[in-house]
């Protein structure tokens, strides 16, 4: 047992006091883990668009002051009552959506949408007692998606922690907590392209490039990147994307361009933009008879997906996925092993690395579109 077990820990955390304002590194108190909770020491964390989106709080319920962060790697410091599968010293990746192992979703082989621990972006407290574990001089600071990794210590429900190989470098595998697993799983678990097939990837941000990495691993021979930002094309070559289409270069819809390039349509397409028109194009560009399109991006709340039913009747399949269909506790340790065996490359996603004290730079890089992943070192 760590000497800190059962006690309040004082440590540094980056607090978002208000929407859109730079984070402030503060000394916070982190309460001990309660039943089914685990307190972890975060060693590395990285910034994802979801943090930025809720930090900007445009149109969503603002929950402040709050500690953001959900992609990270850490070490268990202490465990609460009832936690049997984790012990101090274990290496873990927190995940924003959990796996209770007990609900209908967790018991289904097909679903990873746990009833108990499914992502909740409005909730700023632990599900056990409805309280926050973070405070400053006794005043609560709220959690974000049950992870709040922009803190040297955080408290997470045991169901939102994947126990991983202790030899895995946390400064690399931390990116598997969210975006990279989402794109990778969309391809490997849902689109499942056959060796030698054609795959179109819409949106070449970190998620789309992870989907491309999945296509490379699956042995697809044509990986066609579709993006309205041609700056993304150069980088995408490193991810096995071998053909590029900018919809803005054509008068006709991009689905027609793709159909012409591929003799009737691609075998698989994966949409990683969040743009509704791209979603429709991604569906309509797959080959009739066997094509499968997978939607990954998070659309605008008022978006409506519109296509002629004939496109479906002609034996095209539309699927959607959440966190790449991975069950966090059951499946993520094996994704880490894919990296350990060099099947999966993660280094190429990491474009920046900064100390915790400079965390606001990570937001600047992402907002400018300069970074895929910026790793933040928590211990200096
Ligand atoms: N057609 C093609 N590409 C598009 C379109 C479009 N209509 N609209 C946007 N894009 C491209 C952007 O130019 C950008 O390169 O999609 C890419 C999205 O990349 P990022 O913004 O870096 O986002 P990323 O982190 O990869 O996440 C992608 O998944 O998790 C969700 O909310 C997230 O919806 C977002 C998506
Ligand atoms: Zn569950």
Q: Give the per-residue pLDDT at 267.
A: 98
Q: Whose CA is nearest to atom 12 of ligand 1?
A: 203
Q: Give the per-residue pLDDT at 1.
A: 59
Q: Give the per-residue pLDDT at 178.
A: 97
Q: Which residues of the chain have pLDDT under 50?
A: none
Per-residue model confidence as pLDDT tens digits over 23-51: 999 999 999 999 999 999 999 999 999 99
Distance CA 330, CA 328 (A): 6
Asked whether 272 lines ligand 1 (CB < 6 A), one says yes
How many Å lie between the centroid of ligand 2 and the Cα of residue 40?
22
How many Å lie between the centroid of ligand 2 and the Cα of residue 243?
40
Asked whether 204 lines ligand 1 (CB < 6 A), one says yes
Taking the mean position of all CA atoms in its chain, how far away is CA 307?
28
Asked whether 211 lines ligand 1 (CB < 6 A), one says no
Q: Whose CA is nearest to atom 36 of ligand 1?
A: 297
Q: Give the per-residue pLDDT at 38.
A: 98
Asked whether 247 lines ligand 1 (CB < 6 A), one says yes
Burial of residue 345 (CB within 10 Å: 0-12, 13-18, 19+) is middle
**Quick one: which atom of ligand 1 is closest to the CA of 182?**
30
What is the SS3 assignment for 255? helix
pTM of the model: 0.97
* Residues whose CB is less than 8 angstroms from the CB of residue 321 and which lie 6 or more positions away in sequence, other chains included: 182, 185, 186, 189, 190, 294, 295, 296
Per-residue model confidence as pLDDT tens digits over 44-86: 999 999 999 999 998 788 899 999 999 999 999 999 999 999 9
Q: Helix %, strand %, coil % for the chain, to 5?
A: 30, 25, 45
Asked whether 206 lines ligand 1 (CB < 6 A), one says yes
Q: Give the per-residue pLDDT at 186.
A: 98
**Quick one: which atom of ligand 1 is closest to the CA of 369?**
22
Ligand nearest to the CA of 254: 1
50 among known catalytic residues? yes
| Phi, psi for residue 58 in degrees, rounded to 5 | -85, 105
What is the SS3 assignment for 251? coil
Asked whether 261 lines ligand 1 (CB < 6 A), one says no
Length of the chain: 380
316 among known catalytic residues? no
How many Å lie between the centroid of ligand 2 and the Cα of residue 154?
22
Ligand nearest to the CA of 204: 1
Asked whether 324 lines ligand 1 (CB < 6 A), one says no
Ligand nearest to the CA of 327: 2
Of the residues 12, 26, 56, 103, only one is catalytic, namely 103
How many Å lie between the centroid of ligand 2 and the Cα of residue 363?
32
Per-residue model confidence as pLDDT tens digits over 135-158: 999 999 999 999 999 999 999 999
Of the residues 49, 123, 352, 377, only one is catalytic, namely 49
Asked whether 275 lines ligand 1 (CB < 6 A), one says yes
């Amino acid at each position: 047992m760590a000497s800190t077990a059962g006690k309040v820990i004082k440590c540094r955390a980056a607090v978002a006091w208000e929407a859109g304002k730079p984070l402030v590194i503060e000394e916070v108190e982190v309460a001990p883990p309660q039943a089914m909770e685990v307190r972890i020491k975060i060693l590395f964390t990285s910034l994802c668009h979801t943090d930025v989106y809720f930090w900007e709080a445009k149109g969503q319920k603002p929950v402040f002051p709050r500690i953001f962060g959900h992609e990270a790697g850490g070490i268990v410091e202490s465990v609460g009552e009832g936690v049997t599968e984790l012990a101090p010293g274990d290496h873990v990746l927190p995940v924003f959506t959990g796996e209770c192992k007990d609900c209908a979703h967790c018991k289904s082989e097909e679903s990873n949408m746990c009833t108990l621990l499914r992502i909740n972006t409005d909730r700023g407290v632990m599900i056990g007692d409805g309280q926050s574990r973070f405070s400053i001089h006794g005043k609560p600071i709220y959690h974000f998606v049950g992870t709040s990794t922009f803190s040297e210590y955080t408290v997470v429900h045991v169901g939102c922690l994947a126990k991983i190989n202790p030899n895995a470098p946390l400064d690399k595998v931390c990116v598997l907590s969210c975006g990279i697993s989402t794109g990778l799983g969309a391809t490997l678990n849902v689109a499942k392209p056959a060796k030698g097939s054609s795959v179109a990837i819409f949106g070449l941000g970190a998620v789309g490039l992870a989907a491309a990495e999945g296509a490379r691993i699956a042995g697809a021979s044509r990986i066609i990147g579709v993006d309205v930002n041609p700056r993304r094309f150069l980088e995408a070559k490193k991810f096995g994307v071998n053909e590029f289409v900018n919809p803005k270069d054509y008068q006709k819809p991009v689905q027609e361009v793709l159909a012409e390039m591929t003799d009737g349509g691609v075998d698989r397409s994966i949409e990683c933009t969040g743009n509704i028109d791209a979603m429709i194009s991604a569906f309509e560009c797959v080959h009739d008879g066997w094509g499968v399109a997978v939607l990954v991006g998070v659309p605008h709340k008022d978006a409506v997906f519109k296509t002629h039913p004939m496109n479906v009747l002609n034996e095209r399949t539309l699927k959607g996925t959440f966190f790449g269909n991975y069950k966090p506790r059951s499946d993520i340790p094996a994704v880490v092993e894919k990296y350990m065996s060099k099947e999966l490359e993660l280094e190429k996603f990491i474009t920046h690395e900064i100390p915790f004290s400079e965390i606001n730079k990570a937001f600047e890089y992402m907002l400018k579109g300069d970074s895929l992943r910026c790793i933040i070192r928590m211990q200096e």
